[in-house]
Amino acid sequence: MKLLGVSGSLRAASFNTALLHAAQEVAPDGVTIEIFRLHDLPLFNQDVEDQGDPAPVTAWKDAVRGADALLLACPEYNGGVTGVLKNAIDWASRGAPSALQGKTACIIGASPGVTGTVRAQDALRQSLRKVSAQYWPLSEMLVGQAHTKIEAGVVTDEKTRAYLARHLATFVEHMRGG
């Protein structure tokens, strides 16, 4: 099974990108997680789209289509989903059929706040519903006080790593029909 990991943060030492790297390390047997960086994705603009998708957009859509499911690491900025992640969803939602149509997403997120990324994950689920993507009903994994669990881009807290491993295993079981 191939999961496409996407971080909604562009920061080099992003807590959410660190979660994706940890997910690669603790993924169940038979599961690969490819991380797709959104750094080169332009802001959605229908005038640009009308001229044909730029190469980074084509690469993004192809990566989404080529994955069995998505692993979205969702930061929370000002109580909502980041612009970079929303922009990626907007681009992938375009075209017929949409690259997101029928894709299932597992959502995780880390934040220095006590509640993790709960509000951003709610907003992300709303966006996914609008574009005919699905999300795993138990997909919420919230890592609060991330600055105490992730150091220099590495998840150092063993409880968080174990929780992530269990969360991914349960998601993969769901995807395999279990």
Residue 153 confidence (pLDDT):
93
pLDDT of 137 above 80: no
- Our CA dihedral for 107, 113, 118, 121, rounded to 10 degrees, sits at -40
155 to each of 7, 43, 145, 150, how far by Cα in Å? 15, 30, 12, 4
Q: Write the pLDDT tens digit of every residue in 6-40.
A: 999 999 999 999 999 999 999 999 999 999 999 99
When mean pLDDT is compared across 114-123, 130-139, 166-175, the lowest value belongs to 130-139
Secondary structure of the chain as H, E, C letters = CEEEEEECCCCCCCHHHHHHHHHHHHCCCCCEEEEECCCCCCCCCHHHHHCCCCHHHHHHHHHHHHCCEEEEECCCECCECCHHHHHHHHHHCCCCCCCCCCCEEEEEEECCCCCCCHHHHHHHHHHHHHCCCEECCCCCEEECCHHHCEECCEECCHHHHHHHHHHHHHHHHHHCCC
pLDDT of 52 above 70: yes
Task: Tell me the average pLDDT of the chain.
Answer: 94
Question: CA Rg, the chain, in Å?
Answer: 15
Which of the four pLDDT bands, split at 50, 70 and 90, describes residue 139?
Answer: low
Phi, psi of 87 (to 5 degrees): -60, -40
Task: Give 7: exposed, middle or buried? Use CB within 10 Å, 0-12, 13-18, 19+.
Answer: buried
Peptide bond into 97 cis (omega under 30): yes
